[in-house]
Amino acid sequence: MPMNENNEFKPLIVAFCCNWCSYAGADLAGSSRLTYPENVKIIRVPCSGRVNPMFILRAFERGADGVIICGCHPGDCHYSTGNYYARRRMALLFSMLEYMGIENGRTRVEWCSAAEGAKFSKTMNEFCEKIASLGENVRLGDLRCKN
Partner 1 sequence: MQRIGVFVCHCGSNIAATVDVKKVVELVRYEQGVVYADDYMYMCSEAGQQKVMEAIKEHNLTGLVICSCSPRMHEATFRACAAKAGLNPFMVEIANIREHCSWIHKDMEEATKKAVILARAAIAKVNLNTPLQEGESPVVKRALVIGGGIAGIQTALDIANAGYPVDIVEKEPSIGGRMSQLDKTFPTLDCSSCILTPKMVEVAQHPNIKIYSYSEVEKVGGFVGNFEVDIRKKARSVNEDKCTGCGVCQTKCPLGKTGKIPSEFNRGLGTRSAIYTPFAQAVPNVPVIDRENCTYFKTGKCGVCAKLCPSGCIDYEQQDQIVTEKYGAIVVATGFDIINLDKYDEYAYNTCPDVITSLELERLMNAAGPTGGHLLRMSDGKAPKDIVFIQCVGSRCADDRGKPYCSKVCCMYTAKHAMLIKDHWPEMNVTVFYIDVRTPGKNFDEFYRRAVEQYHVNYIKGQVGKVMPQADGSLIVQGSDLLDGKQIKMKADMVVLAAAVEPNKDARKIASMLTASIDNNDFLTEAHAKLRPVESPTAGIFLSGMSQGPKDIPETVSQAGAAAVKVIGLLAKDKLKTNPCTAKCDMFQCNGCSTCANVCPYGAISYEDTLVRGPGVNETRRIAKVNTALCQGCGACTSACPSGAMDLQGFSNLQIISEVDAICR
Binding residue (CB under 8 A) for partner 1 from 11, 22, 49, 132: 49
Q: Which stretch binds partner 1 (CB under 8 A): 60-68, 99-107, 126-134?
A: 60-68
- Binding of residue 82 to partner 1 (CB under 8 A): yes
The β-bridge partners of 41 are 14
- Binding of residue 52 to partner 1 (CB under 8 A): yes
- Binding of residue 130 to partner 1 (CB under 8 A): no
**Distances in Å between the alpha carbon of 95 and those of 15, 64, 110, 112, 123?**
19, 18, 16, 23, 21
- Quote the CA–CA distance of 84 and 24 in Å, as a whole number: 19
Q: Which stretch binds partner 1 (CB under 8 A): 82-90, 98-106, 127-135?
A: 82-90
Do the Cβ atoms of 42 and 97 come closer than 8 Å? no
What single-letter DSSP state applies at residue 109?
E
The β-bridge partners of 107 are 67
- Binding of residue 79 to partner 1 (CB under 8 A): yes
| Site pattern 4..43 for partner 1 (x: CB under 8 A) | --------x-x----xxx-xx-xx-xxx-xxxx-x--xxx
CA dihedral (19, 25, 26, 30) positive or negative:
positive
Residues found near partner 1 in the complex (CB under 8 A): 12, 14, 19-21, 23-24, 26-27, 29-31, 33-36, 38, 41-47, 49-55, 58-59, 62-64, 72, 75-82, 85, 89, 113-116, 121, 145-146
